């Protein structure tokens, strides 16, 4: 067994605190890594506080993981000891259903295994995430990292990056398309960078006027304060695609009203209260309302390689492990530019 140190929630009300636990002995196809950086996703906060009602404790959150390989099993082909590896939101799946065979493991018909707070498929042991010293994972669910990228800025690509890259690719965001991004948080700022990089005309929607200058710097062609009805109305019937990355309940009909005929809106944000949907906004424009979940293993590697080629990383604020509870509170106040990343050397 590998002994691991981390920060865990013991139930939905207690702050995260130091916690020791064991990880499984590596299998022949496993690698072990020492974690260097872990991003702080809003899902970590939803999960630590059981806002989706499915949390299991004790819980070490964290699924935006970058680390150094310390061990490779005898059947490992992708990694060598000393190399950098990255792990995202899922660490296993059935590996034989149509979704797994298509490399869309996040939609595994037998259920994917999350990086934390789920029994694993090997021993039934509760998985524990990346707010910790190390991880053991099958190499299929780990990724190589382009050498030119800053590693703290890479960590958030493993969730915020792939979760936005995947729907932007699925809905064919490209030059000539007008694309809206709703919410300038961890996911939103990556969506903005990717949509801009793919050559679309990008409009950033935000509730925070103070983020306007940043949005323009990050690649927005226009910024709209979503609370201002006049600014919203100017964009009616004009969007090819809108990606909604908001973490709290809000009016999604204000955005479907802005879609063109045959256009689409995709939801990636997962507020704990379901939205009310104005069906007329969809029916009268043959518009699509869809969702999207992270991304499969091949596309995650494709995204990382794309980031290497185009020099894209997340804008991060590095925090010590001991400040995680403060980081959660600041994230709730929309006070993060634009992702907290824990420096695991501080553990
Ligand atoms: P985040 O960094 O906290 O960003 C959320 C943004 O939403 C905020 O920056 C803010 O943007 C906006 N917002 C917050 N409260 C709002 C409100 N009351 N009304 C309107 N807008 C509000 O969170 P994140 O880490 O990007 O995660 C966003 C959501 O995606 C979370 O629900 C998370 O669980 C979910 N998620 C889903 C997937 C998936 O696979 N589908 C993967 C990862 C995360 P402005 O200040 O610009 O308004
Ligand atoms: Zn996440
Ligand atoms: Zn499967």
Instruction: For CA atoms 171, 173, 179, 182, give the dihedral sign.
Output: positive
For the chain, the C-alpha Rg in angstroms (whole number) is: 20
**Residue of 44, 50, 247, 265 to mutate, ligand 1, most atoms within 8 A of C-beta:** 247
Cβ 170 vs Cβ 145: under 8 Å = no
pLDDT tens digits along 122-173: 999 999 999 999 999 999 999 999 999 999 999 999 999 999 999 999 999 9
Q: Distances in Å between the alpha carbon of 17 and those of 98, 115, 122, 205, 328?
A: 40, 19, 27, 36, 13
Cα(83) to centroid(ligand 1), Å: 32
Please determine, looking at this structure, whether the domain spanning 2-158+315-346 carries the CATH number 3.40.50.2000. no
pLDDT, position 286: 98
Cβ 68 vs Cβ 83: under 8 Å = yes
* Nearest listed ligand to the Cα of residue 109: 3
pLDDT, position 146: 98
pLDDT, position 113: 98
**Residue of 115, 130, 226, 245 to mutate, ligand 1, most atoms within 8 A of C-beta:** 245
Residue nearest to atom 20 of ligand 1 (CA): 250
pLDDT, position 111: 95
Domain boundaries, the chain: 2-158+315-346, 161-291
Residue nearest to atom 19 of ligand 1 (CA): 250
Lookup: tokens for 346: 């501080």
pLDDT, position 318: 98
pLDDT, position 1: 79
State which ligand 1 atom lies nearest to the alpha carbon of 293: 40
**Residue of 107, 159, 165, 185 to mutate, ligand 1, most atoms within 8 A of C-beta:** 185
Q: Identify the three-state secondary structure at position 343.
A: strand
What's the average pLDDT block by block, 10 residues per block, for the chain (347 residues)? 94 97 96 98 97 97 98 98 98 98 98 97 96 98 98 98 98 98 98 98 97 98 98 98 97 98 97 94 98 98 98 98 98 96 98
Cα separation, 219 vs 322, in Å, equals 33
Cα(246) to centroid(ligand 1), Å: 3
pLDDT, position 164: 98
* Ligand 1 binding site (Cβ under 6 Å of any ligand atom): 41-43, 46, 159-160, 163, 183-188, 206-208, 211, 245-248, 250, 268-271, 292-294, 331, 334, 336
pTM of the model: 0.98
* Chain mean position to CA 209: 24
Cα separation, 292 vs 184, in Å, equals 18
Cα(101) to centroid(ligand 1), Å: 31
pLDDT tens digits along 98-123: 999 999 999 999 999 999 999 999 99
pLDDT, position 9: 98
**Which position has the token pair 């909604």?**
244
Cα(41) to centroid(ligand 2), Å: 5
**Which position has the token pair 């995650």?**
300
Kindly state which CATH superfamily the domain 161-291 is placed in. NAD(P)-binding Rossmann-like Domain (3.40.50.720)
Q: Which of 285, 304, 286 is nearest to 295 (CA)?
A: 304
């Amino acid at each position: 067994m590998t002994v691991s140190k981390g920060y865990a929630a013991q139930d939905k009300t207690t702050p995260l605190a130091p916690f020791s636990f064991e990880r499984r002995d590596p299998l022949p196809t496993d690698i072990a890594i020492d974690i260097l950086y872990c991003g702080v996703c809003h899902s970590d906060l939803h999960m630590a506080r059981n806002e989706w009602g499915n949390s299991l404790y004790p819980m070490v959150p964290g699924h935006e993981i970058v680390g150094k390989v310390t061990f490779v099993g005898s059947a490992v082909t992708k990694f060598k000891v000393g190399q950098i590896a990255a792990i995202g939101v899922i660490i296993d799946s059935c590996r034989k259903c149509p979704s797994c065979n298509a490399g869309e493991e996040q939609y595994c018909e037998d259920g994917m295994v999350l990086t934390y707070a789920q029994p694993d498929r090997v021993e039934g042991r509760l998985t524990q995430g990346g707010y910790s010293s190390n991880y053991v994972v099958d190499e299929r669910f780990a990724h190589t990292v382009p050498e030119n990228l800053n590693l703290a800025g890479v960590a958030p690509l493993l969730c915020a990056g792939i979760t936005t890259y995947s729907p932007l690719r699925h809905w064919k965001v490209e030059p000539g398309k007008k694309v809206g991004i709703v919410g300038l948080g961890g996911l939103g700022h990556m969506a903005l960078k990717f949509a801009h990089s793919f050559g679309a005309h990008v409009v950033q929607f935000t509730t925070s006027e103070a983020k306007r200058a940043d949005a323009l710097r990050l690649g927005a062609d226009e910024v709209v304060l979503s609370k201002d009805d006049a600014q919203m109305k100017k964009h009616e019937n004009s969007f090819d695609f809108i990606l909604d990355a908001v973490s709290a309940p809000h009016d999604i009909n204000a955005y479907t009203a802005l879609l063109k005929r045959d256009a689409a809106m995709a939801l990636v944000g997962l507020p704990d209260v379901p939205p009310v949907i104005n069906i007329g906004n969809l029916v009268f424009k043959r518009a699509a309302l869809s969702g999207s979940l992270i991304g499969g293993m091949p596309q995650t590697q494709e995204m990382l390689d794309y980031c290497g080629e185009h020099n894209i990383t997340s804008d991060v604020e590095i925090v010590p492990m001991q400040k995680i509870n403060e980081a959660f509170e600041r994230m709730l106040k929309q006070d993060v530019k634009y992702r907290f990343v824990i420096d695991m050397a501080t553990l």
